[in-house]
Structure 1
Amino acid sequence: MMQAGALAEAAGAPEHLVAAALLHDVGHFHGSVTGQELMAGKDNRHSDTGAAWLAQWFPAEVTEPIRLHVAAKRYLCAVEPAYVAALSEASVYTLSVQGGPMTPDQASAFAALPHARAAVAVRRWDDAAKDPDAPTPGFDHFRPLLARLLRS
């Protein structure tokens, strides 16, 4: 998650997208179903769980890309044939658990959503954030950014 946030920041993304990239998988840690269960074949709906929990503190411009980042993977698999080939083995497996590639109608509906482009950006940073040796700042680096985005 921190690597995805760092990649978004390095890309010059707006603060709300850096926050979304940083927090996109928090639903794996909050809720009754874990990421381990996802890998065991049970969809934990972590994007929905995480976005709903974060909505207590953050606006939709942060939480909606989080809520849609799994759908963005399904979308990209439907509209970019080369995308599937670039996914990690774990992502290919979770794609099947999460519903597989979208149908053309689903892809059109997704693309029309207000936060679809932001979700696709978060998804791409998530996909790129797989290097265990990449220099990544700690969470404290992102605290000021998150504090600026908190709803009052």
Structure 2
Amino acid sequence: MSTPEEVVDQIAALFSGEGGAEYLGEPVTQAQHMLQAAALAERDGAAPALVAAALLHDVGHFTGAVHGRDLMAGRDNRHSHQGADWLGAWFGPEVTEPVRLHVAAKRYLCAAEPGYFAKLSEASVYTLSVQGGPMSEQEAAEFEAGPHAADAVRLRRWDEAAKEPGADDPGFEHYRQLLAALVRGSSMTPST
């Protein structure tokens, strides 16, 4: 069994390695995008688990059998599910379920909130089409009824806003203690 520090080291390696790659047609790297999302969550006073979910929401682009490049080539890589499943080895549902649902939240918001679609970047519009498009009324109602829907919607809003080149973020090390404290079995106390 890995210690919390070993888990965080493994995640840090993703940020410093694959995280330096282009973020699917956006003007930031994948690591910058996730760090910006976490900084926005922290700024908005989100609970530590939701800050962690914002930080880790796109790890499925790194950890799955199908890479993010496949998504841009028209094949849904289901990165939200792959990332949540991978994170589930160490984190509870308060972290993994907003990650799992962040793509569904985009589909939900495009169906439920007039004007949300217009806020999407060109790349996000494209991936929405690959991921199933806006939800139907029935799908939206089912999504809303889920226990993690509200957190997933908050995460989605940070996700969409976290694509600013040159935006200031505190860097991965800023979140090390927060992540370690959330690893199952950790005796640490999360802080933001």
Does TM, normalized by the shorter one, top 0.5? yes
Aligned to 1:8: 41
Pair 1:26-2:59 in alignment? yes
Aligned to 1:128: 161
- Structure 1 runs of 4+ off > 2 angstroms? none
Aligned to 1:92: 125
Structure 1 distance, partners of 2:75, 2:165, is 26
Show CA shifts across 1:49-95 (max 9, x none). 00000000000000000000000000000001200011000000000
Structure 1 distance, partners of 2:35, 2:163, is 11
- RMSD in angstroms over aligned alpha carbons? 0.5
Structure 2 distance, partners of 1:105, 1:7, is 31
1:137 to partner: Cα distance = 1.3
1:124 to partner: Cα distance = 0.4
User: Rg bigger for which structure?
Assistant: 2
Letter in 2 for 1:36: R
In structure 2, stretches of 5+ residues that fail to align are 1-33, 186-192
> Which has the higher relative contact order, 1 or 2, with Cα contacts under 8 A spaced 6 or more apart?
1
Aligned to 2:4: none
Aligned pairs for 1:1-152 (under 5 A) are 1-152=34-185
Q: How many residues align?
A: 152
Identity of aligned residues (%): 68
TM-score (norm 2): 0.78
In structure 1, stretches of 5+ residues that fail to align are none
| 3-state SS in 1 of match to 2:115 | helix
Show CA shifts across 1:6-63 (max 9, x none). 1100111100100000000000000111111101100000000000000000000000
TM-score (norm 1): 0.99
